[in-house]
Chain A
Amino acid sequence: MGTRNGCFVVKDCALIQLATGVRAQNVRELRDRLLVVPADCIDYHFWSGPLRPHFDDPEYVNDFASWARHGLHDDKLAERLACIDPAHTDDLEELRQDLLDVLEHRIDEGEYLTWAKPERQFHFIRPQLVVFDTGRRIESPAELATAIGAMSVGSIYFHLVLARKRPPQRIDDFRSWLAERGREFEGVSSALANVDPCFTTLVGLRDELKRLVDEHLPAPV
């Protein structure tokens, strides 16, 4: 999180996607490709979903699980892949191994190998993220709700979603900042802790955050 003189530094980010040309059409191919693709592909397929077009709530929280369900129609695999929490580590190689474990386990079960249709192949994508300072500063928690309401979805993504993978705290930047402001903000922090960023759009998240801060921020003395 960026703070300067105790102020919350509002950052923003923009994502561009790069094709790798690497594709998979069944679970074995996914396993084989996963062994060799650049680590940032794994980062992309776990973290960038909110910045891409999707209508309301995604059924699964990462691209691997979503493809297992909608490309391969393999519900068991989809459910297991969806349980991998990318926030538990900042080591993408560890995350790669988590994925491989699930895929290997599924292959070992020896059920019928399903294939995706050619137009439903899994495409490995690399991310390029540009992060920049908006120049905006939040000086006190009283300004937080208004400031959140004025943020771009890129700022919401940066401070709420991406912050979850930043060590050591792995929590959103709003809570990190409020924790530095004293115990009186524990109520609003607790409310924010219950926001699961995975099942809505960034616009929806922005509205939800603003509402929670409005509701739970202690009234000025």
Chain B
Amino acid sequence: MNEFLERYVGITGDDVVRQLHQLSAPLRGRRLVHINSTRSGGGVAEILDKLVPFQRALGIDASWEVLTGDDEFFECTKHVHNALQGVPVDVPRSLLSHYEDVTAANADRLRPLLADADFVFVHDPQTAALITHFPARRGRWIWRCHIDLSQPHRSVWRYLLPFVAKHDASVFSLADFAQVLPHPVYLITPSIDPLSEKNRELTTSEVRREIAGFEIDRDRPVMLQVSRFDRFKDPLGVIRAYRLVKEFIPAVQLVLAGGGASDDPEGAAVLDEVRAAAEGDPDLHVLLLPVDAHRSVNALQRAANIVIQKSIKEGFGLTVAEAMWKGKVVIGGNTGGIRLQIASNRTGFLVSTPEGAALRARYLLRHRRRLLGMGRNARQFVRENFLLTRQLREYLTLMISLGRGHTSPIELR
């Protein structure tokens, strides 16, 4: 076992890493390429940042490529992204043409790598059209959809479907998110990396030092939401919940911390709205963090008493697992993958309104022992279910099983 894998043994146990090593045996030396649209910012980039080195450590020839595009391209893909999550927005034909042109240019640039790969994972709608430029591809192409596609805006989905359908398989995070497609549709929930800068253990002094500049009073309760400034994350709803809590617990503070992603031009508008709502309240801290402020996020999550993720629409919501891994109780929106991560009243609370979030926050701030107990449950639940090692195991299983029809079980010799 090499040094990279050894580091995970201390977190997950020897049995988990040994299993990955054995399962990956048939895939050693195979060429695997992941492609997405951004190297930093957002959950997909964070997963790939660790998944690819892990796959390499297991002997798979894995690499990660990023689409290059201009502002117009990312404006288009943001519209497509929103439309696929149900926002009724039509994307102008001119933008879609530009999307196709940029895709074609990327296909030319990546052709030598992609044409010969054994497996190509294309992540999210931004990369879905690449496949049309590889009619003579050698390997298997898998479309990995990280978003909730359960109720897409139909005109945009109708545009994207022919591209998606060309793939050999798709992967969705939950059955609720999936569409019926003419190829196998796998279900794999995402995960967090316990050794990343965002999730590794920090000492008390590291936490103190890291958040010293944010003017947060550690002697008073802190509610925290970490997420992009995105309407689906409902930051204004979180502010409303905080104000309801503050009526009963005047000492409470709220931190809304988030960064932008290079493929998210809408974030600035939402941030302006949040800042306007927060104006004049010294206990409400709006932090726009650089995309690489992983240690700051880590420290903020550890410093918080309660973590909120009050999304109204969510792909998976990795910030929930991140906070739970740090032993924090999360009050999460009852939507998408958050439902899978929070066992309500045992590892956190699921809520549907700002009022619900406020009620649970008041309860938890009143019952500190319960807060600690639920936090311990939360960490154990993440250890068993939402660490990178579990997701990697499922990717390996997918690659082994792809193309073998519906034979189950598959016995490896």
Task: Mark A residues whose CB is within 8 Å of B.
Answer: 12-19, 21, 38, 40, 53-56, 119, 121, 123, 125-135, 150-155, 201, 203
- Flag if A40 contacts B406 (CB, 8 Å): yes
A38 to B405, CA, bound (A): 13
Whether the Cβ atoms of B172 and A151 lie closer than 8 Å is no
Q: Return the contact of B397 from the options A15, A53, A56, A133 (Cβ within 8 A).
A: A15
A54 CA to B393 CA, complexed, in Å: 18
Instruction: Tell me whether A14 and B19 are in contact in the complex, defined as CB-CB below 8 angstroms, given that A128-B408, A130-B410 are known contacts.
Output: yes
| With A55-B381, A119-B176, A135-B22 as contacts: A16 and B410 at CB distance below 8 Å | no
Q: Give B343's nearest chain A residue, CB to CB.
A: A55
Apart from A123-B175, A131-B410, what 11 extra A-B contacts exist at CB < 8 Å? A17-B187, A40-B406, A125-B175, A129-B408, A129-B409, A130-B23, A130-B401, A130-B409, A132-B411, A152-B15, A155-B15
Q: Are B186 and A16 in contact (CB under 8 A)?
A: yes
Partner of B175, one of A16, A19, A127: A19
A19–B187 CB distance below 8 A? yes
CB-based A-B contact count at 8 angstroms: 104
- Contact, CB under 8 Å: B409 / A13: yes
17 sampled A-B residue pairs with Cβ under 8 A: A13-B409, A16-B394, A17-B175, A17-B187, A18-B184, A18-B187, A19-B175, A53-B381, A121-B176, A127-B408, A128-B397, A130-B23, A130-B400, A130-B412, A131-B412, A133-B412, A150-B15
In the assembled complex, the Cα of A56 lies from the Cα of B384 at a distance in Å of 11
Q: Which residues of B contact A127 (CB under 8 A)?
A: 408
A21 touches B180 (CB 8 A): yes
Which B residues lie within 8 Å of A12 (CB)?
19, 22-23
> How many residues in B have their beta carbons less than 8 Å from beta carbons of A?
43
Task: Give which listed residue, A40, A133, A150, A201, contacts B408 with CB less than 8 A.
Answer: A40
The answer to the question of B359 belonging to the interface, with a C-beta cut-off of 8 Å to chain A, is: no
Interface of A is mostly: strand
Within the complex, what minimum Cβ distance (angstroms) separates B198 from chain A? 21
State A178–B184 Cα separation when bound (angstroms): 41
B408 touches A14 (CB 8 A): no
Most chain A CB neighbours (cut-off 10 Å) among B178, B187, B385, B394: B187
Given contacts A40-B406, A55-B346, A123-B176, contact A19 B385 (CB under 8 A): no
Q: Does B96 contact A (CB under 8 A)?
A: no
- Chain B contacts for A56, CB-based, 8 A: 346
**Are the CB atoms of A14 and B393 closer together than 8 Å?**
yes
Q: List, in ascending order, chain B residues with CB within 8 A of A13's CB.
A: 409
Within 8 A of A (CB), among B292-335: 335
Residues from chain B with a CB closer than 8 A to the CB of A201 are 384
Q: Which residue of A lies closest to B189 (CB)?
A: A53
Q: A12-B19, A130-B409, A150-B15 are in contact. Are A55 and B377 (CB under 8 A)?
A: yes
Determine whether the beta carbon of B22 is less than 8 Å from that of A134.
yes
What separation, in Å, do the CA atoms of A166 and B187 have in the docked complex?
27
> Roughly how many angstroms separate A53 CA and B176 CA in the complex, as a whole number?
16
Contact with A along B137-148 (1 / 0, CB 8 A): 000000000000
Find the B residue at minimum CB distance from A122: B175
Cβ–Cβ < 8 Å partners of B180 in chain A? 21
Pairwise interchain contact A203-B384, C-beta atoms closer than 8 A: yes
Asked if B91 is an interface residue, CB under 8 A from chain A, the answer is no
Partner of A21, one of B25, B178, B393, B396: B178
B15 contact set on A, CB distance < 8 A: 150-153, 155
Checking B176, B343, B398 against A16 with a beta-carbon cut-off of 8 angstroms, the contacting residue is B398
In the bound complex, residues from chain A placing their C-beta under 8 Å from that of B25 are 132
CA distance A204 to B23 in the complex (A): 23
Contacts of A55 in B (CB 8 A): 343, 346-347, 377, 381
Q: Hey, which chain B residues are within 8 Å of A152, CB to CB?
A: 15-16, 18-19
Within 8 Å CB of B268, what residues of A?
none
Contact A128 B175 (CB under 8 A): no
Binary CB contact string for chain B from 198 to 227 against chain A (1 if under 8 A, 0 otherwise)? 000000000000000000000000000000
Residues of chain B with a CB closer than 8 A to A18's CB: 184-187
Which residues of chain B are within 8 angstroms of A14 by Cβ–Cβ distance?
19, 23, 393-394, 396-397
Closest Cβ of chain B to A44, distance in Å, is 9
- A19 CA / B398 CA spacing, docked (Å): 13
Q: Do B397 and A16 touch (CB < 8 A)?
A: yes
Provide the residues of chain B in CB contact with A155, threshold 8 Å: 15
